[in-house]
Amino acid sequence: MRQFYAGFGASFRNSGVHPSAPDSLTDEAPPRRSKSSRRKRGPKDPVSYTVESLDGEDVSDVDDSLPDADGVGESAVPPERVVVDIDEDRIDPDAAKVVRRLVRHGYEAYLVGGCVRDLLLNKSPKDFDVATSARPEVVRRLFRNSRIIGRRFRLVHVLYGGGKVIETATFRRNPSEDEQSDDLLIRNDNTFGVAHEDAARRDFTINALFYDLDRGEALDWCGGMRDIERRAVRTIGDPIIRFREDPVRMLRAIKFSARLDLGIDPDTYHALVQCRETLAMAAKPRLFEEILRLLRGGAAHRSIWLAWETGVLDVLLPELSSYLYDRPPDEHRVWGLLDQIDLLTRGVDPVDDITLLALLLFEPMMEACDGRRDRVIACEEFVDPLVERLAVPRRIADALRRIVAILPKLANGGAGKFARTPLFPIATQILNSLRGVDDRPMDIPPPPSRVGRRKKRGGRRRRSGAEPSSE
Ligand code: ATP
Ligand code: MG
């Protein structure tokens, strides 16, 4: 029996057994029925849907005669099974219900991915995902309060009260070599597979652990338990291949390392540095979304530092990375503003994407405005290449331009008509964050009209720490 570290809220030991049948498949709490029907909006799904039974236990139209053949096959490769004894009260009860009902109906079903990783690292999972051998249509029929989503790869969202969604996916596998193109980029990942294939298609070993709820065991095909123990982000398989297949994984490595305070395995780290240019091949909206995730996770400072250190920032946000290269840290407040982002995102209220991006890019944007008569045009010239490179939505790009252009006026107490626009609270939040770094928020060039007037009088204000503009 192998004991891993204690004190992480779960104790691990290798059970070394492959049980043939669960001890108890009937431990599930008796079904409860909700009284009312409500319309809820799920966080992952902007479309409204009707939630008929808020606890998802309405079994009235469950077809118990579904043949097991409706599932995908059994995994031929046995996992290492490690007893981890995670407290049941740390597990979302609805996710547990989904798993148990699938198992009761003869399918394999596990908690998977980020929730298992977070539980083992003693963090609170954001959400709970389930992987199963049952096909989407079967899952759909087992849970009346569910819907199939996705065209390319179909998954089932099982819907619960409060907009909760338990994402339930059928095991799938990576495309085989002959299904793949020469550049390795994965364009098709919608083939059903078995459990070990589903683990192997995932990005990092720590994200490939399956949790067998009734046995309290982690199923490990990829060495994830060892990496949890040594607190390392490591790709499954050759990191160069895995990053070329999907360059967004590089940003995910940075995110997990920063957010969970994990190291990056040396081979994975070197591959990340080596493959960083391939990020330019990834779908732009995915890159943009992943940058926002780096900022949202409460570890924006560490994330952007790591992105800069690895050269990833040069590819994604060259305007920010060159700004950082050009100045010693005491001459700018980029890191201080990232700390402000972390303060905001660790709070209870969601933070608008506009705030996140404005604070991230504030310093180089202000530099771009330095000495320019028309700040709106200067901001536009700064933002346009970003919009092109990362498919920044127009709404956000326009807001960034407007806010950065108006900030000096706001800092001097004059909001005018802008105070009645929906951007005003966002701009105020940004100004407060600027003030949170130091008392220099006023140290912004005055708005365009005044710049013009001052220039005529022969004086142009310079922000302290900023280079004089060479315009
Ligand atoms: P978070 O807490 O940020 O949601 P997560 O690990 O749950 O972290 P998701 O983006 O929700 O991340 O993805 C769920 C799971 O899907 C991951 O844990 C991983 O196993 C797998 N996954 C996600 N993105 C990829 C990818 N690009 N390549 C391979 N596997 C991926
Ligand atoms: Mg997740």
Q: Is residue 254 part of a domain?
A: no
Cβ atoms of 188 and 179 within 8 Å: the answer is yes
**pLDDT of 30:** 32
Q: What is the bridge-based pairing of β-strands 45-51 and 191-192?
A: unpaired
Q: Is residue 79 part of a domain?
A: yes
Q: What 3-state class would DSSP assign to 163? A: helix
**Statement to judge: residues 95 and 197 lie in one domain:** yes
**Statement to judge: residues 30 and 129 lie in one domain:** yes
**Statement to judge: residues 449 and 344 lie in one domain:** yes
- Which among 214, 230, 246 is the end of a domain? 230
| Phi, psi angle pair for 434, to nearest 5° | -60, -40
Helix 375-390 with 353-369: angle, nearest 10 deg? 130
Q: What 3-state class would DSSP assign to 38? A: strand
Confidence label for 51 from pLDDT (cuts 50, 70 and 90): very low
Among the atoms of ligand 1, which is closest to the Cα of residue 113? 18
**pLDDT of 13:** 53
Question: What residue owns the CA closest to ligand 1's atom 27?
Answer: 249
From the list 423, 370, 419, the residue with the least C-alpha distance to 400 is 423
Residues assigned a catalytic role: 127, 129, 203
Q: What 3-state class would DSSP assign to 232? A: strand
CA separation for the pair 60, 39 (Å, rounded): 20
Ligand 1: centre distance to CA 129 (Å): 10
Ligand 2: centre distance to CA 91 (Å): 14
CA separation for the pair 169, 216 (Å, rounded): 21
**Statement to judge: residues 72 and 191 lie in one domain:** yes
Question: What residue owns the CA closest to ligand 1's atom 5?
Answer: 114
Q: Is residue 224 part of a domain?
A: yes
Q: Is residue 432 part of a domain?
A: yes
Cβ atoms of 319 and 326 within 8 Å: the answer is no
The answer, yes or no, to whether any atom of ligand 1 lies below 6 A from the CB of 114, is yes
Ligand 2: centre distance to CA 118 (Å): 10
Cβ atoms of 340 and 351 within 8 Å: the answer is no
- Tokens 């996705």 correspond to 150
Confidence label for 373 from pLDDT (cuts 50, 70 and 90): confident
**Statement to judge: residues 43 and 174 lie in one domain:** yes
Ligand 1: centre distance to CA 113 (Å): 6
CA separation for the pair 462, 291 (Å, rounded): 31
Q: Report the mean per-residue pLDDT for the chain.
A: 81
**pLDDT of 376:** 84
**pLDDT of 364:** 94
Residue 45: is its pLDDT beyond 60?
A: no
**pLDDT of 404:** 85
Cβ atoms of 315 and 279 within 8 Å: the answer is yes
Q: Is residue 201 part of a domain?
A: yes
The answer, yes or no, to whether any atom of ligand 1 lies below 6 A from the CB of 126, is yes
Among 243-247, 249-253, 413-417, which is the least confidently predicted range?
413-417
**Statement to judge: residues 344 and 219 lie in one domain:** no
**Statement to judge: residues 206 and 321 lie in one domain:** no
**Statement to judge: residues 208 and 322 lie in one domain:** no
Q: Helix (H) and strand (E) counts for the chain?
A: 18, 15
**pLDDT of 152:** 74
- The pick from 123, 203, 235, 255 for probing ligand 1's pocket by mutation, whose C-beta has the most ligand atoms within 8 angstroms, reads 203
Among 90-99, 103-112, 273-282, 372-381, which is the least confidently predicted range?
372-381
**Statement to judge: residues 33 and 176 lie in one domain:** yes
- Which among 167, 196, 230 is the end of a domain? 230
**pLDDT of 328:** 87
DSSP lists the bridge partners of residue 210 as: 112, 219
**pLDDT of 37:** 31
302-355 confidence digits (pLDDT tens): 999 999 999 999 999 999 999 999 988 888 899 999 999 999 999 999 999 999
Cβ atoms of 452 and 359 within 8 Å: the answer is no
What string of H, E and C letters represents the secondary structure of 62-103?
A: CCCCCCHHHECCCCCCCCEEEECCCCHHHCCHHHHHHHHHHH
Among the atoms of ligand 1, which is closest to the Cα of residue 202? 30
**What ligand is nearest to the CA atom of residue 283?**
1
**Statement to judge: residues 112 and 226 lie in one domain:** yes
CA separation for the pair 235, 217 (Å, rounded): 22
CATH number at residue 111: 3.30.460.10
**Residue predicted with more confidence, 453 or 389:** 389
Among the atoms of ligand 1, which is closest to the Cα of residue 126? 2
Question: What residue owns the CA closest to ligand 1's atom 4?
Answer: 114
Residue 400: is its pLDDT beyond 80?
A: yes
Among the atoms of ligand 1, which is closest to the Cα of residue 125? 2
Domain residues for the domain of 178 are 13-230
Ligand 2: centre distance to CA 85 (Å): 21
171-196 confidence digits (pLDDT tens): 999 876 555 556 666 555 568 999 99
67-101 confidence digits (pLDDT tens): 445 677 776 789 999 999 799 999 999 999 999 99
**pLDDT of 47:** 27
Give the distance, in angstroms, between the CA of residue 444 and the centroid of all CA atoms in the same chain.
Answer: 33
- The pick from 171, 252, 259, 294 for probing ligand 1's pocket by mutation, whose C-beta has the most ligand atoms within 8 angstroms, reads 252
Question: What residue owns the CA closest to ligand 1's atom 26?
Answer: 203
Which amino acid belongs to residue 278? T
409-423 confidence digits (pLDDT tens): 888 888 788 889 999
CA angle 341, 342, 346 (to 5 degrees): 120
Among the atoms of ligand 1, which is closest to the Cα of residue 293? 3
333-342 confidence digits (pLDDT tens): 999 999 999 9
- Provide the domain count of the chain: 2
**pLDDT of 60:** 35
Confidence label for 375 from pLDDT (cuts 50, 70 and 90): confident
Other Cβ atoms less than 10 A from the Cβ of 256: the count is 23
Cβ atoms of 82 and 13 within 8 Å: the answer is yes
Q: Is residue 209 part of a domain?
A: yes
Containing 46, the helix (H) or strand (E) segment is strand 45-51
What would the two tokens of residue 34 be? 């909700």
Ligand 2: centre distance to CA 129 (Å): 7
**Statement to judge: residues 217 and 356 lie in one domain:** no
Cβ atoms of 125 and 115 within 8 Å: the answer is yes
Question: What residue owns the CA closest to ligand 1's atom 2?
Answer: 114
Average pLDDT over residues 298-305: 98
Ligand 2: centre distance to CA 83 (Å): 23
- Cα separations (Å) of 157 from 131, 147, 285, 293? 12, 5, 23, 22
**pLDDT of 370:** 87
**What ligand is nearest to the CA atom of residue 117?**
1
Radius of gyration of the chain (CA): 26
Q: Is residue 238 part of a domain?
A: no
Q: Is residue 244 part of a domain?
A: no
Cβ atoms of 166 and 111 within 8 Å: the answer is no
- Which among 208, 230, 252 is the end of a domain? 230
The answer, yes or no, to whether any atom of ligand 1 lies below 6 A from the CB of 44, is no
From the list 58, 85, 218, the residue with the least C-alpha distance to 146 is 58
Give the distance, in angstroms, between the CA of residue 244 and the centroid of all CA atoms in the same chain.
Answer: 20
- Cα separations (Å) of 203 from 105, 108, 174, 234? 30, 22, 11, 8
